Amino acid sequence: MQPQTLFTLTVAVSLLAGLSSPALALVFALYPLWLPEIFPRTTEVVFYGASLIVATGTLLASAIPAAVAERMGADPVTTMKVWLGAAALLTGLGILARM
């Protein structure tokens, strides 16, 4: 599998985490801290922004094991598989916490 395909899957899994993570409620509640004044304070806008923040956080947090694997000499495909696995683990834990 190509590294570009694996990255696309990693981003998709991170977006799913943005919709299912328990951290979404916390980021949603803290919207006065991160939502600029130019945006309307509707539920839809706040939910969309909170979901993007959690998805980006998942993508960044899951990149840490991939960076360690790359530093240890792994090839790009293996590094991307580690990144996808870490993102899937974080997403799975978020989904399980919702149940």
Q: How many domains does the chain have?
A: 1
**Which domain covers residue 80, as residue numbers?**
3-98
Entry pTM: 0.89
Q: Which long-range contacts (CB under 8 A, 24 or more apart) does 58-63 make?
A: 58/14, 58/17, 58/18, 58/21, 58/87, 58/90, 58/91, 59/10, 59/11, 59/14, 59/87, 61/86, 61/90, 62/10, 62/14, 62/86, 62/87, 62/89, 62/90
pLDDT (tens digit per residue) in 15-68: 999 998 899 999 999 999 999 999 999 999 999 999 999 999 999 999 999 999
pLDDT at 40: 92
